Amino acid sequence: MSYEKRFSGRKFDEMREIEAKVGIIKRADGSALFRIGDTIAIAAVYGPRELHPRFLQNPETGILRCNYDMISFSVPERKRPGPSRRQVEISLVTEKALLPVVDLKQFQNSVIDVFIQIIQANSGTRCAGITAASLALAHAGIPMRDMVSSVSVGKVGNKILIDLDKDEEDHEDATDIPMAITNRGKQITLLQLDGNITKKDFIEALKLGMGGCEKIAKVQEKALKDYYRSKNE
Amino acid sequence: MNNDYIVSLIQQNRRIDERKLDEHREIKIEYNISKNAEGSARCKIGETEVLVGVKMDIGEPYPDNPDQGTIIVTAELSPIASPLFELGPPGTQATELARIVDRGIRESKAIDFKKLFIKEDKVWIIFIDIYPVNDDGNLIDASVLAALAALKIAKFPKIKDDKVVYGEFSNEKLKLTKLPINFTFGKIANKIILDPNSKEEDALDARLSISVNEGNIYAMQKGGDTGLILEEIEKMIDIAIKKEKEIRGLLK
């Protein structure tokens, strides 16, 4: 089935407008907002702090704990507050997406908590959450080997494209591939796929995503620089 | 920061953020912060920040009020907002917060529940969901203001075959008959302070929240571990009634 023009009018390799901001939650040790089009994610980092219950503590290393939550009114049909199976899974893959860049060795017996909330949802929420969380970790001063940026790519009809919105995700012939990559190391740390795609198209989509993540990485960098510049003024 | 310092300041009629005892922090209200909600708003009181969204659904009325819709208020104290909050089902603080917001709206009849009647066995259920994002004290007043702001701009969704068409809104607004403003006071060192911040909350002996509208009181909630005397309560009511118009003016 052919998909000639995107519902939104964007080019197939064009992401929605993006915005990043650091230091939005004063009470937290680190925080950030990331918006991509109509999807808005906020993230807060608390820690390193003592891990309870104690039996979860690891004397060798600190632990990273991520929680992804969609607020009830972020979607057209009210989402019941509390963790859904979907949220539990996204929390897990978010943790795995960030873990490779965070240096936890020196935080024995401690935990670094990352809380992500989706304020407004129009697809790509896990990716927006990961991008925001990476910024919040950097803002919290957690030692990091690299940063992580994330975007979804995929195929709608016969077209490979980046940053699917809700209309595209709901398309009957859509393949959705959320991915995250380390900004300098180019290690892929999140990769999920649902749909139907050939190897060739998959590789093409992934490369498109890598290009998109480079743009997101620049916006992340600018948000951090802007924050510290305004602090020094 | 220890409580003794807060107490010694208040004994000298001073506050940690240099406010007067009966002065609230700067209040900012922002509308329509989340497009998929029927109405939404952000309220900041100083560094305290609360998001509230209104969602509507069609449900069955309570058997004792077959001609009325209702509101359901929920608050989630997510650990995003404070190192003291934990994941899990709503605890006592979240439940109390939701019930205070509920009571102010319900008891003042700010929403006419009879206007939420659609047809036999079909009424509107108005969900008011409260999400603090940063807790620097006095979540109650911020939640009430954000709830009123979100309700004020809320539009009913479209209906087709007795079901809500999600994502599509009608032009019909939810009408508020009143805007009952909540004022939360603290008692520290036998002095009354308005709008305690989080450091002051840690040092509070007693707390009282009062919901007022044009000189009438519609709801109250006493908190804290010590008592209040009549004169103190009177003083709080006087401040609330004196200031309600100014605060209401912030809701455009």
Please provide residue B196's backbone torsions phi and psi, each rounded to the nearest 5 degrees.
-65, 135
In the predicted model, residues of chain A with pLDDT beneath 70 are 1
CB A39 within 8 A of CB A120: yes
Cβ proximity of B112 and B177 under 8 Å: yes
Domain annotation covers residue A5 = no
Domain-embedded: residue A215: yes
* Domain assignment of residue A75, given as a range: 18-232
Query: Is A3 part of any domain?
Result: no
Task: Please give chain B's pLDDT, 252 residues, in tens.
Answer: 579 999 999 999 999 999 999 999 999 999 999 999 999 999 999 999 999 999 999 999 999 999 999 999 999 999 999 999 999 989 999 999 999 999 999 999 999 999 999 999 999 999 999 999 999 999 999 999 999 999 999 999 999 999 999 999 999 999 999 999 999 999 999 999 999 999 999 999 999 999 999 999 999 999 998 999 999 999 999 999 999 999 999 997
Q: Is residue A105 part of a domain?
A: yes
Q: What is the nearest CA distance from B52 to chain A, expressed in angstroms? A: 9
Confidence (pLDDT) at B252: 75
Whether residue A129 is contained in a domain is answered as yes
Give how many domains chain B has, as a whole number: 1
Cα–Cα nearest to B211, from B246, B234, B244, B242: B244
What is the per-residue pLDDT for A2? 81
Which residues of chain A neighbour B42 with C-beta distances below 8 Å? none
Any A CB within 8 A of B78 CB = yes
B34 touches chain A (CB under 8 A): yes
Whether B36 and A82 lie within 8 Å, measured CB to CB: no
**Residues 6+ away with beta carbon under 8 Å from A38:** A16, A120, A121, A122, A165, B35
Quick check: A132 contacting B, CB < 8 Å? no
Q: With respect to residue A6, please indicate whether it lies within any of the assigned structural domains.
A: no
For chain A, positions 16-75, list CB contacts with chain B under 8 A. Answer: 25-28, 38, 40, 42-44, 46, 49, 67, 69, 71-75
pTM assigned to the model: 0.92
- What ipTM goes with this model? 0.87
Q: Please, where are the H alpha helices in B81-130?
A: 92-107
Contact B53 A81 (CB under 8 A): no
In chain A, the number of structural domains is 1
By residue range, what is the domain housing residue B222? 3-248
Per DSSP bridges, beta strands A30-36 and A39-50 are antiparallel
Q: Which of A71, A111, A125 to mutate to test the interface with B (most CBs of B within 10 A)?
A: A71
Query: Which of A43, A77, A113 lies at the smallest CB-CB distance from B166?
Result: A77
Q: Rounded to whole angstroms, how far apart are CA atoms A171 and A156?
A: 7
DSSP class of residue B215 equals: T
d(CA A185, CA A101): 10
Of the candidates B35, B127, B134, which has its C-beta nearest A25's C-beta?
Answer: B134
Nearest to B80 among A49, A81, A117 (CB): A117
What distance in Å separates the CA atoms of residue A185 and residue A190, rounded to the nearest whole number?
Answer: 14
B2 vs A: CB within 8 A: no
Across the interface, of B35, B83, B87, the residue whose CB is closest to A27 is: B83
pLDDT (0 to 100) of residue A165: 97
Cβ contact, residue pair A46, B89, below 8 Å = no
Which residues of B are less than 8 Å from A74 in CB distance? 34, 36-37, 53
What is the per-residue pLDDT across A40-78, written as a single tens digit (0 to 9) for each?
999 999 999 999 888 889 999 999 999 999 999 999 999
Instruction: Give the distance from residue B72's alpha carbon to the nearest chain A alpha carbon, in angstroms.
Output: 12
Q: What angle do CA A52, A55, A59 make, to 5 degrees?
A: 95
Whether residue A1 lies inside any domain: the answer is no
Q: Residue written as tokens 């190391």?
A: A185
Distance from chain centroid for Cα B44: 12
Nearest CA-CA partner of A67 in A91, A87, A48: A91
Kindly report the CATH number assigned to the domain that includes residue A227: 3.30.230.70
What pLDDT shows up at residue B23? Answer: 97
Interface contact B55-A71, CB threshold 8 A: no
